[in-house]
Structure 1
């Protein structure tokens, strides 16, 4: 386990998936990450690569050949190497191998960097192309934030506050986790999306056209909040197991497949690419206020 710490936060990261397991706010004693109750949802904050969401038939099509690919990719199940570590900074690396090539036939180094600065944690995804061709991929985050923050509160005291006023419209998912082509309005109260036990009864809320580049998890009862800023991520998912005491705020560069026929990876919606010898980077931040 790698621990980053300053006067504001203590952050823990495990080698499996280079996954955050704790964001502990020291002044208040609040643990802000869901603690992975396996009977409800056994993850804390999985990193998603080389796909986001579900792939049709659990496959990707690359250079005319299909490869098996589980929902959200193999990264969250993979063991990362810690290549740098200080009290406030760490870098984790997953390099292509015999194991990864079964699912994703590219040469790459997928790095996740964590940097602690005051009450802010910056998470940077870096994809280093070590192949002799363009690498196509998706990448995203899936952190689950504990809510409510205090024992005398209820989930219904909380809301997601958008940076900008939004006419929210979610893109509907089928039972298999694929986009159906249908959309549905999501009622808001100004900049607020109230949290309720039934908000996610029809799966995740997926937003593709937000004006906001940040959202905050807040309560009506106090000013303590967690803000996720995602300037480089055009898609945002919100999700929780119905009735669970967490909410996931998920910046994505990529998304699930739509129902229909399997498309080549370069034609997948919101697919990213990095050329031979090049490096891709995208970062988001988590601020505890």
Structure 2
């Protein structure tokens, strides 16, 4: 396990999946991250690559070949290599190999970096295409946060999600595990979204951000602790498993979506797919402030 530490926070990252597993307040010992209780969900903050969400029939076609890949791709279950580390920063890398090419035939280098700055953790990803041909992929993050956050008098339904800018967002419905992008519906987030488990009876709430910088804050009037995630991404998912009464919620920046209900199975025409030219790099990032 990799440990980063400054005056305020101690962070742990597992090289398996380059997964953020713990963020603790040094003074109070408060743990912000979901601790992967398998009774609810056995992960903390998986990295989603080279797909986000589910493929229809867990398969896709590329260059007239059919490949099998399960939800959210394989990066979350692969060992990353540490390429640079200090007391407050680490960079980890995953590159294509024989095992990944059985699932996804393209060359890639995926680099994740985590940097602690005061009360904030900066997370940045770079996808590099070393090949001479175009690369298609999706990328996402899936961090889960404990609820309640240290407030003995608070529970899940005492928390709300405040989105800035305060406006009406387009929400992409999910039909089963698949995106229904043709039937987006307005979601008024001029006021905070009060959390309750029934919000997730059709899976995640998926907001269209259109790459505009957006801050999503998770907090409660019952105490002073919370988190704020800032990102400029195409989409953001808000999720907690249903019908389980799980004591956590995920705030998920996505540069991709689950297959559309009208998906053809061709990866190059997949909804919200990213395209990366030969020898080029794609960059994505977000920041989480803990209070």
Residue 261 of structure 1 and its aligned partner are, at CA, apart by 4.2
Partner of 2:144: 144
Secondary structure of 1:67 counterpart: strand
Contact 1:17 1:46 in 2 (8 A): yes
Return the TM-score normalized by structure 1: 0.94
Partner of 1:236: 236
Partner of 2:133: 133
Does residue 170 in structure 1 map to residue 206 in structure 2?
no
Residue 29 of structure 1 and its aligned partner are, at CA, apart by 2.0
Residue 264 of structure 1 and its aligned partner are, at CA, apart by 2.5
Residue 132 of structure 1 and its aligned partner are, at CA, apart by 1.6
Equivalences for 1:1-289 in 2 at 5 Å? 1-150=1-150, 151-175=152-176, 177-180=177-180, 181-186=182-187, 188=189, 190-209=190-209, 213-231=214-232, 233-242=233-242, 243-289=245-291
Distance 1:97 1:213, change over 3 A: same
Contact 2:197 2:240 in 1 (8 A): no
Secondary structure of 2:168 counterpart: coil
Encode CA deviations 1:26-69: one digit per residue, 9 max, x unaligned.
23321000000011100000000000011112112212222111
Q: CA RMSD in A?
A: 1.6
Residue 278 of structure 1 and its aligned partner are, at CA, apart by 1.6
Secondary structure of 2:110 counterpart: strand
- Tell me, which stretches of 5 or more residues in structure 2 are unaligned? none
Residue 187 of structure 1 and its aligned partner are, at CA, apart by 5.7
Aligned residues: 286
Distance 2:209 2:110 in 1: 27
Residue 130 of structure 1 and its aligned partner are, at CA, apart by 1.5
- Tell me, which stretches of 5 or more residues in structure 1 are unaligned? none
Return the TM-score normalized by structure 2: 0.93
Distance 1:71 1:26, change over 3 A: same
Secondary structure of 1:237 counterpart: strand
